[in-house]
Amino acid sequence: MIYYAAMKEKKDIQAVVVLSGGQDSATCLALAVRKYGAEHVAAITFRYGQRHSVEVSFARRLARRFGVSVHKVVNLDFYASLTSNALMSDIPIKRKKGASCPNTVVEGRNAIFLLAAGVWGKSLGATIIYTGVSQADFSGYPDCRAVFIRAQARMMRLAMEWPFKIVTPFMNKTKAQEWAIASKLGILDVIKNETVTCYNGIPGAGCGKCPACRLRARGLEEFEARAREFS
């Protein structure tokens, strides 16, 4: 505990947000800033060969918009040498019959992102890591489940002897509920127009065809139809 306290005094960052530039992470960033204050929040973004790499530019803009203390962009150029998927190549995006998730799944992505965020976060004295994963309304990715997040947090605490807590505000929220949160935060237009959720790299409403766009659109439609219930 003495070691923790000494590290905590080293910096004034309390939370690190894994910021992709999409709907989920942008809303996470707003929640973290609201809770801790922009001066106590850092954001980290990864460039890993994703076909929608334009999201990195949008992540930079979001970090500036919300005034976070520091924003780091990390290159993971090695990723494409380890795995193949539709998100990191130009092969058609699809879900095979009987498959639990589409071929956009990037094996181990959240494990690597969270570990890297933790390594950097510890150097800043932060113990809180935000990520926008959800198991309630998602494409079936195994590293979006609560059981994974619990295991990852335990692994990071053991690996670095640091009291990490991984915060997942949307773990049991639908996309409609997430849109409602953005509305209550007063950032509905920001999320609608200044984020990139689309796997084809089209901002805002996106291509309307990929799995990410369909989830986003379905949630927005439900939120708008039931806006009074969410207020």
- pLDDT at residue 95, as a whole number: 66
DSSP conformation letters of 52-106: TTHHHHHHHHHHHHHT-SEEEEEE-GGGGGT---GGGSSSPP---TT-SS-TT--
pLDDT value, residue 37: 97
pTM value is 0.89
User: 215: which 2 tokens?
Assistant: 């989830």
pLDDT at position 1, please? 34
- Tokens for 103, please give them: 């071929």
Q: How far apart are CA 165 and CA 149, in angstroms?
A: 10
Whether the CB-CB separation of 18 and 131 falls below 8 Å is answered with yes
SS3 track for 173-210? CCHHHHHHHHHHHCCHHHHHHCCCCCCCCCCCCCCCCC
pLDDT at residue 2, as a whole number:
33
Q: What is the pLDDT of residue 140?
A: 76
d(CA 148, CA 160): 18
Structural domains of the chain ordered from first start: 2-174 (3.40.50.620)
> In a structure prediction context, what are the per-residue pLDDT tens digits for the chain, which is 231 residues long?
333 333 443 469 999 999 999 999 999 999 999 999 999 999 999 998 887 789 999 999 999 999 999 999 999 989 888 887 777 777 777 666 655 677 767 778 899 999 999 999 999 999 999 999 999 866 678 888 999 999 999 999 999 999 999 999 999 999 999 999 999 999 999 999 999 999 888 999 999 988 889 999 999 999 999 988 876
CB 43 within 8 A of CB 63: yes
